[in-house]
């Protein structure tokens, strides 16, 4: 009996060895030949790979492992308003300059970091722009942001959460934008009903609280079948209801002569109101796994533009044009647009916009200097 078992094992080993042999020959052939027959043979293998991506979103999408979204931090000992049970929140995203390299501890040498602090100051403290409903500010930061920066931001009041990075393995994103797909994690902020995301290089001219009541930010029914088996191939189930209010770019910088600015068709992901939803997040991850479904150079913006395409089941909606402008001119400021997307550190911008930014920066720095020296005196 024992020997029969051994015989069986031997036979099994032999079979396994020959199977491996055949497999390696096949793999070799696939690698070497351009012959059509071989190509046809590779198709089913490709399909299996696609299925894997579809179910796990792991084949093409790289996900840094971190314990989900960390719990709230920094709220208890921060200077900010009480972050308790607000329905709505403002959210920002921070990653080190130049993509994934080692971040520096220098708090003044990183324009996006300074811009983030300015926007936090404007959202929480500046009397002319701060929230009039005590809405909290949440910042999602990638793991490679320097600890000194995380500490400084927490001290400024926001709820800073370090999240695992998401990246495409197939995109051609510029190095500086490598981490931007991580912004999809904004949809995991499910303790809030609505979130306003703003790019850090945004200046405010008045409070943003009213944007949550914009008609475009109302819950909307999915237009199509939401069940997995009825959804577009490979994309899987969709939520029955969603909120996605975005803003199209206002043409060029020459929109001064036409008011209101002429809206383009393309979604700009620098200012948007949405309903965070794990279901939608999972849906995005599945789409991210479908190579060439959208433009990998601007991954998060193109992914959202595709998932919420105008002729799809969950079209994005244009918010009121007074809320935000992407390519800012001074005339937008004069017209009273509430938030202005402007890289104020760039050499090419209107000096009046630069002045506006420097006044905000000065107020922000003075505010903290005053507050902190006052705390020392106490």
Cβ at position 257, least distance to ligand NAG in Å:
5
For ligand NAG, the closer of residues 59 and 210 by Cβ is: 210
Backbone angles phi, psi at 183, to 5 degrees: -60, -20
Choose, by CB under 6 A, the member of 128, 133, 169, 346 that binds ligand NAG: 133
Residue 76 interacts with ligand NAG (CB under 6 A): yes or no: no
| Count of residues touching ligand NAG (by CB under 6 A) | 13
Burial of residue 119 (CB within 10 Å: 0-12, 13-18, 19+) is buried
DSSP per-residue string spanning 315-366: --EEPPTTSEESS--HHHHHHT-SEEE--TTSTTS-HHHHHHHHHHHHHHHH
The reply to whether 257 sits near ligand NAG by the rule CB under 6 A is: yes
Instruction: Provide the 3-class DSSP secondary structure of residue 140.
Output: strand
Neighbours of 268 (CB within 10 A): 20
d(CA 38, CA 46): 13
Pairing, β 244-248 against β 317-318: parallel
> Does residue 70 touch ligand NAG according to CB under 6 A?
yes
| Three-state DSSP state, 125 | coil
DSSP code, position 144: T
Choose which of 48, 67, 348, 377 interacts with ligand NAG (CB under 6 A): 67
Q: Minimum Å distance from CB 88 to ligand NAG?
A: 8
Q: Considering the complex, state which of residue 132 and residue 346 has its C-beta at the smaller distance from ligand NAG.
A: 132
* Site membership for ligand NAG, residue 260 (CB under 6 A): no
Instruction: Indicate whether 336 belongs to the interface with ligand NAG (CB under 6 A).
Output: no
The interface mask with ligand NAG, positions 201-230, x = CB under 6 A, is ------x-xx--x-----------------
- Angle among Cα 121, 245, 181 to the nearest 5 degrees reads 70
Task: Select the residue interacting with ligand NAG from 56, 252, 359, 371 (CB under 6 A).
Answer: 252
Q: Which two tokens stand for residue 187?
A: 């949809």
CB of 361: closest distance to ligand NAG in angstroms?
Answer: 23
Residue 32 or 254 having the CB closest to ligand NAG: 254
Nearest in space to 147 (alpha carbons), one of 162, 136, 159 = 162
C-beta of 3 vs 257, nearer to ligand NAG: 257
Interface residue list for ligand NAG (CB under 6 A): 67, 70-71, 132-133, 207, 209-210, 213, 252, 254, 257-258
């Amino acid at each position: 009996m024992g020997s029969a078992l051994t015989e069986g094992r031997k036979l099994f080993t032999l079979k396994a060895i020959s199977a491996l042999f055949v497999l390696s020959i096949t793999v070799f052939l696939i690698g070497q030949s351009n012959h059509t027959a071989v190509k046809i043979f590779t198709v089913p293998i490709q399909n299996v790979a696609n299925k894997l991506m579809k179910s796990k979103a792991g084949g093409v999408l790289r996900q840094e492992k971190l314990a989900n979204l960390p719990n709230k931090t920094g709220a208890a000992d921060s200077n900010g308003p009480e972050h308790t049970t607000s329905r709505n929140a403002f959210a920002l995203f921070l990653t080190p300059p130049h993509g994934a390299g080692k971040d520096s501890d220098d708090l003044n040498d990183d324009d996006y970091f300074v811009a983030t602090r300015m926007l936090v100051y404007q959202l929480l403290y500046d009397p002319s722009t701060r929230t009039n409903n005590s809405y909290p500010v949440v910042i999602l930061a990638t793991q490679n942001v320097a600890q000194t920066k995380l500490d400084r931001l927490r001290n400024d009041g926001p709820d800073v959460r370090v999240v695992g990075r998401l990246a495409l393995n197939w995109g051609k994103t510029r190095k500086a934008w490598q981490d931007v797909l991580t912004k999809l994690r904004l949809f995991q902020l499910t303790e809030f009903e609505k979130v306003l995301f703003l790019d850090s290089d945004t200046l405010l001219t008045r409070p943003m609280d009213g944007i949550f009541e914009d008609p475009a930010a109302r819950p909307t029914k999915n237009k199509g079948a939401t069940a997995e088996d009825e959804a577009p191939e490979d994309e899987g189930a969709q939520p029955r209801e969603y909120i996605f209010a975005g803003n199209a770019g206002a043409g060029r910088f020459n929109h001064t002569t036409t008011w209101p600015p002429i809206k383009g068709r393309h979604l700009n992901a620098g200012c948007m109101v949405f309903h965070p939803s794990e279901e939608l997040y999972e849906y995005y991850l599945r789409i991210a796994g479908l190579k060439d479904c959208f433009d990998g150079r601007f991954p998060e913006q193109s992914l959202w533009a595709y998932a919420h395409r105008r002729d799809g089941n969950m079209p994005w909606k244009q918010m009121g044009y007074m809320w935000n402008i992407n390519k800012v001119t001074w005339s937008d400021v004069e017209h009273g647009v509430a938030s202005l997307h402007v890289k104020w550190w760039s050499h090419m911008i209107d000096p009046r916009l630069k002045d506006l930014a420097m006044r905000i920066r000065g107020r922000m720095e003075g505010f903290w200097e005053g507050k902190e020296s006052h705390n020392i005196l106490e």
